[in-house]
Chain A
Amino acid sequence: MKTLINKGFLASAMLVAVLSGCKKDLELSAPFALTPDNVFTDLASYQRHLTGGVYGQFASADYYNGFAGVATELLTDNCYETLESLVNFNQVHNWLYDAADRQRAYFTSMFLIHYNAIHQANAIITNIDQVKAENERFYNRVLGQALAARAIAHFDLLKGFADHGDRNSTAPGVYYRRDMKLDYPSRNTVKEVYDGIYADLNQAIQLLGNVDQAINTASNRGSIDIWGARAALARVALHGKDYQTAIQQSTLLINQFPLATRAQFPGIWNDGNAVEQIWNIVNLSGDPGAFPSAEIMSFRANRNTFGILPDLIRLYDTTGFGATGAGNDIRFSSYFFLRNTSPNGNNNWGLRKFAGKASAQDNLVNYKVFRVAEQYLIRAEAYARTTQDALGSADLNALKTARINGWVNTPYAGTALIAEIARERRRELCFEGHRWFDQKRTDRVMNRVLTGTGNPNGGVQVSLPANSHRWIWPIPEVEIRANKQFSQNPGY
């Protein structure tokens, strides 16, 4: 009997030994990822989050390297859809989009990615006070950029998804997100959103004025420094018809940044220099989604999805273009190229702006968010709309003089001044994501040929009526479905 028990113990001891040998720890962590709980340790960790989270999302193919950048232009009268597009854009291009956003999901993706960039900024803004003591001016440098980024992303949402043309409008805006919650909020008014943008940008300007080291260099403008925050505020103010602020901020920028010479100008577009640039999205070989103009003219696929419309081509003074050189207007040859002459004898122009770095043509190039040229046009318009036509005309002529060979100073006034500023904005800023919003905030005129004919000249003309609900983009169906509090824009 005794042996039996002893052997029984032996057996169970053996089992225990076997079992404890393979005891498994279930507390595992990812070797290739951190968690939201352990990512932040010191100010440098917040700086890293600014780099990857905030600037990384700004550079995504759904943000400035996509539909919030060059590709917005496919909604405008600057280009037409060619047959090479495989007609994959016709619903968006011809303003047939709806809340389901079924063709390219542009609105759905950008709505999400903009708020994701805001989430990344909020991760910094809501936590960074814990390490403020480490170095207050370093803290200012990181927090200032995060606040400016949050404001810019909200403005980019507001100008697309709301009737945003008035700083004090009580129309529905978007939601101004200041926390990291996963809740279901309702829309703020346009005024409340502007209030948030102003507050964040003003605080950013204050913080970025007192930093421990320079944020950008002369040749690398990849981050939002105090000038980036001011440029954002000037643009925001122009859209919100707050002309005083627009003049105030653009003046500071114009005094800081010179316009490019004609010799320098092509270098802006192939990243040969950083002249005029206040903030850009730096795109490097190997970055995901680093091809800002690929949706319009893909050099890599040799596919010209959108051709340039003759109306835009005709705006430039092309005297001397071609055989003898760049032509009078230096912008033309940097922006466009003659892709081919079609069987029906048309000249088909393609987009060269954003073609690539140096002489490469592969769409890999920095996306320019703020250039000082825009500030000239902002100030000119702000002056013109506050009956300071002479000052406005002077800014307009200053820009033209820099761009057009032999430009003779021409005074403009009244509606002619306003109209010429609009034309100049189109000449200068085409395919930088302005045209749609400029028409939206002003007279809402948009006419061009119907897609699918492959012919920029003939074909059926279409226009988007000024009273169309599509000037204000649909809140994505997914948001409306998930969040009953979030109201849809009229007409969708």
Chain B
Amino acid sequence: MRKNFSLLLGALLLLFQVGIAQTKVSGRITAKKDGASLAGATVQVKGTTVSTATDENGNFSINVPANRSVLRITYLGYKTVEVNVANAGSIAMEDDASDMTEVVVTGYRTQQKKNFVGSAGNIKGEEFASMPIASFDQALQGRTPGLIMRASSGQPGSSGSAIIRGRGSINGSTEPIYIVDGIQIAAADFAQINPNDITNVSVLKDAVATSLYGSRGGNGVMVITTKRGGGGKTKFEVEAFTGWSTFPTFRDYRLMTTAEKIEYELRRGGTSLSGYDDAELDSLAKINTDWEKETTRTGRTYSVNASAAGGSDKTRYFASVNYFTQEGSVRNTGFNRIVGRFNLSQDAGNFSFGLNTSGTVSDFQNTSEGNTGIGTPLNAGIWTNPYEQPFVPGFYNAAGNFVAGGSVLTRPRIAESFQPIPTTDLFWNNNNSNDLRFIAGANAEYRIPFVKGLSVRTLYGIDYRQFNSDGFTDRRTYNGGFNPRPTSGQFTNFRTSSFARDFFKSQRITWTSSLNYMKSFGEHTIDAGAYYETVDLKTASSGRTVFLLQSPFQNEAGATINGELLPRIRANATEAALESYFGLMNYSFKNRYFVSANIRRDGSSRFGADRRFATFGGIGAAWAMSDEAFMAGTRSWLNLLKVKASYGTVGNQEGIGAYESQGTVSGRSQNAAQGTVIATPANPELQWESRKKFNTGVEFALFNNKLTGGIEYYNEVTENLFLPVELSRTSGFGTLTKNIGSVRNSGVEIALNYDIIRNKDMRLSINGNITFNKNEVVKLAERDSVVSGSVIRAIGKPVNSIFLVEYAGVNPDNGNAQYRNLDGTLTETYNLTQRRIVGNQDPTYFGGYGFDFSYKGIGLNGQFSFFGGQDLFNNERNNIENPDYFYDNMNADVLGEWQKPGDITNIPRPDNEFVATTTRFLENSSFTRLRNVTLSYTLPTKLSTAATLKSVMFYVMGTNLFTITQFRGRDPEFAGGISLTGAQYPAMRTVQAGIRVGF
């Protein structure tokens, strides 16, 4: 260490020797557009080889020889500026209308896209700022290649699920990590950021780009940068919108009407309807309830956002507040949120420091989803018979128990089908939660004055989340029946209501410190850093359930505490930590040859003492070929041609339990005594998953930067996969996670943008991106395939392949279901050995495309996203086509089931043995969706100035207006596995109108 330090000093001394007969000139370079600092801009003394680069904050200082007086400043994507040294204090650079203005933010570091040797996608804040989606992460869908972003639910406020460059793990996590202004936050917190606060989202993909996050970056990294003040006069902006959301009607099947259902039940026989006389049947036939209508509505959305940005040359700030409220399209669901943010940075001589803070309060009102439970309103909304009614006078005895024996019209809780009716559980039970999030990061930098370019930095950040939920379960509902009952006293065996209150807290502290050195000498620029980082994640939860007997209260105030009705308590806590040492180096020569390298040593508390630390590293290079002399002839049409490649390893430790390597012994009480039980055996050999990532690509800009884009190829192999190895059950355990097996993702990403028209009054551009991903299992533990339910992991096939027997229609002679054997022959016997791979959970290609048109003040833009080559088992159809479920409502298709020899149909006779797990319910879930379309009008400056305003814009926007798909369920967008179990809350369709004013 000491030796290295003297070498460094030696190098510095050499640099000092050039200082003869020179004037030192310093200044700061910013973007004219928004006042942002431009880091890494080249400042050259015109006519010499003397040059330097700006630092993080756009500052530079250069020694100008006595006979020179003009500085030439170049920065890719900006128009080259030449200024006299006398005016060099503050230089604003103008946009060059090309996507090369983009910067890649890798956390601490901001690099010009041109210099960047890694692979990263960029999404600008304005692309999603006003979308009426409570979780803005979903708005990223289709915006950048390589990112699979799918909503797991349309429930207001629920977060999406992201996968970058394919599913790289089987048992471990596949979620990328999220970094806001250098601080790691939870995926759920990411979804709740105020989208209006964001300037940029970078999606980091390869080993070089993610190198700052080696211990965590295996699944890719999403880096979010929030807005900064520009300095100067304060700019205010206020935006408000209101929207209308509806429950989408994508579903491509029809449920039976009352008449059809009664006829069908009587045809099948055996339900209570068979015992009804004609008068009773007639009164039944008069009821025709549309259960979807009873449980859904048009939800309203309102949002207001206000921000202020400004400061001085030393101080910059940005402050904002956002209020968002959304009613769900399912009744009794909704969401509202308030987010406040304050970002501040201050320069003080050689010190600079800053603070980025945001606080969020969200309230959720949810309903149960994603299950086949009969007490789940979203299920019952489909299944409930149309001849049943939402609310009819109740018949309860004193104990609150349902009294059997009434006619159909007097059965309120349990319908004729023995199913709960959906409205009671939806309206009488509550499921509320309240979320408080606080993200704060303090950073400080000290530029060591006597060694130019050397600085010490530290960043301390906290991501804090406090989640409180409470739920009331009414004694009169289906779910209320499961509450305990008193076994003695006045109210023996009476039903009770229950109230549960839960508290969850998570706190992640990231502390990163580094020694950095940035220096340009001649045509060389180096930028290097040595880092030490710790991440500590603590969670704690506690909760209780109390029972209420005959109480007017719906919370603890009404709790009955004795006998069987003692409160239930629960609590848990975990902690996991990471410790990393790493070094990074970026080097550029002649501003056209670039090399980046990194090496790191990461330790995780999740692993046993011997396996805790692992070493990862990567290297990459890029060449801006178009800047070479021999390319001079092409400059008239080729503005940029850059080739790049990188290779490296990255680790993953997410997806296993915090204490999995140690084994866990839990507490368990039995017979009123407290005991212990071995929950998981010790697993001391567990170690890091490692990803080997290769990336190569070209970036180009053609025809005066009108056509820009890039093509990349990647090949990522995960080794030492966390794989559940099947144990002999005679050990007492099912599986044990081991580091066995390997998965590969390889693919091609293409992104293009074309400015068709670009003039003063009119702009029209189109953009598109597509990713082709091939996911395959390379190695498994000791065998070629592992089957679990209807999922197979087989060598050479995608990770979660769907494994089913092929359904081959109905034999017209006897109405039996037919299945196709592996040899192609037909059989009427379902046989597990005849399963084959019939589908794929994840898309093989996906992307998005859009257009952006403006004419004077009028703007129109639209964005589509698409997913192809993916399949989904539509269990929701099973729930309404299984002939055994005929006492509930069914798909009207079932009326066409086989009834007599010769019937040609796809639905077998009802008494044929029914097997759901065949290809009968497997559907292609590929889709294209108009994610967003906006029409806007900006008042001419003359008018807005007259109103003493800087800018005024009106707009209308539609979200999820239409979807093209062959999938027959409510929504093909689903991230929850191979089977759409049931009770899906589909993505809402929203139309909104808004206004944005700047002053």
Contacts and interface: CB of A to CB of B under 8 A. Distances in A.
Contacts of B730: 115, 174-175, 177, 185, 479, 483, 486
Contact of A28 (B275, B454, B478, B575): B575
Contacts of A302: 401-402, 414, 481
Given A18-B456, A28-B658, A52 B667 contact: yes
Contacts of B887: 83
Contact of B5 (A12, A102, A116): A12
Contact of A112 (B573, B670, B732): B732
B566 interface: yes
Given A11-B454, A359-B487, A359-B493, A52 B659 contact: no
A102 B663 CA distance: 30
Contact of A56 (B603, B663, B668, B913): B668
A396 B534 CA distance: 74
Interface in A333-373: 339-340, 342-344, 356-362, 364
B404 A340 contact: yes
Contacts of B677: 49, 52-53, 56-57, 120
A285 interface: yes
A187 to B, nearest CB: 9
Contact of A482 (B667, B728, B913): B728
A234 B664 CA distance: 37
A478 B418 contact: no
Interface stretch (B45-53, B266-274, B286-294): B266-274
A237 to B, nearest CB: 25
Contacts of B536: 24
Nearest to A363: B482
Contact of A29 (B401, B487, B659, B672): B659
Contacts of B534: 22-24
Contact of B456 (A14, A35, A303, A343): A14
A37 interface: yes
A5 interface: yes
A305 to B, nearest CB: 10
B753 interface: no
B458 interface: yes
A119 interface: yes
Contacts of A19: 513, 532
Contact of A18 (B270, B458, B664): B458
A286 B566 contact: yes
B577 interface: yes
B253 interface: no
A55 to B, nearest CB: 5
A478 B734 contact: yes
Nearest to A25: B577
A26 interface: yes
Nearest to B684: A37
Contacts, number: 284
A478 B270 contact: no
B448 A27 contact: no
Interface string A390-412: 00000000000000000000000
Most buried by B among A8, A98, A174: A8
Please classify the interface of chain A as helix (H, G, I), strand (E, B), loop, or mixed, using the class held by over half of its residues. Answer: loop
Interface stretch (B119-127, B426-434, B604-612): B604-612
A220 B488 CA distance: 19
A28 B536 CA distance: 11
A285 B681 CA distance: 29
A453 interface: yes
A416 interface: no
A282 B659 CA distance: 32
Nearest to A122: B732
A452 B665 contact: no
Given A22-B532, A222-B671, A343-B274, A39 B732 contact: no
Interface residues on A, range: 35 or more
Contacts of B727: 182, 482
A454 B271 contact: yes
Interface in B569-614: 571-579, 603-605, 609, 612
Given A28-B575, A182-B736, A300-B481, A52 B486 contact: no
B884 A452 contact: yes
Interface string B617-661: 000000000000000000000000000000000000000001100
Contacts of A96: 913
A457 B448 CA distance: 93
B728 A11 contact: no
Nearest to A46: B676
B481 A301 contact: yes
B414 A59 contact: no
Contacts of B574: 30-32
Contacts of A481: 726, 786-787
B665 A51 contact: no
Contacts of B454: 11
B759 interface: no
Nearest to A301: B481
Interface string B902-926: 0000000000010001000000000
Interface in A281-321: 282, 284-287, 300-303
B577 A83 contact: no
Contacts of A119: 678, 731-733
A486 B728 contact: yes
Interface stretch (A84-92, A201-209, A464-472): A84-92
B405 interface: yes
Nearest to B413: A302
B579 A26 contact: yes
Contacts of A36: 663, 665, 678, 681-682
A455 B405 CA distance: 17
A182 B681 contact: yes
A73 B832 CA distance: 27
A375 B458 CA distance: 76
B436 interface: no
Central interface residue in B678, B730, B731, B832, by most chain A CB within 10 Å: B730
Given A83-B887, A119-B678, A120-B678, A112 B729 contact: yes
B666 interface: yes
Interface string A64-77: 00000000000000
A90 B666 CA distance: 36
A362 B787 contact: no
Interface string B474-509: 000010011111111000110000000000000000
Contacts of B786: 481
Interface string A237-260: 000000000000000000000000
B674 A35 contact: no
Given A27-B605, A31-B573, A181 B731 contact: yes
A275 interface: no
Interface in B168-209: none
Contacts of B682: 35-37
A34 B664 CA distance: 6
A79 interface: no
Interface in A112-136: 112, 115-120, 123
A255 B446 CA distance: 89
B757 interface: no
9 closest A-B pairs by CB: A343-B275, A52-B675, A119-B732, A51-B675, A482-B726, A52-B668, A87-B884, A24-B534, A222-B671
10 contacts: A18-B513, A22-B513, A33-B667, A35-B682, A36-B681, A37-B682, A84-B418, A286-B568, A478-B734, A485-B728
Given A49-B677, A56-B677, 15 more contacts: A4-B450, A8-B450, A24-B578, A28-B575, A28-B576, A28-B605, A36-B663, A59-B670, A86-B374, A87-B884, A175-B728, A286-B568, A301-B481, A482-B726, A486-B730
Interface of B: 5, 9, 270-272, 274-276, 374, 401-402, 404-405, 414, 418, 446, 448, 450-451, 454, 456, 458, 478, 481-488, 492-493, 511, 513, 515, 532, 534, 536, 563-566, 568, 571-579, 603-605, 609, 612, 658-659, 662-679, 681-682, 726-734, 736, 786-787, 832, 884-885, 887, 913, 917
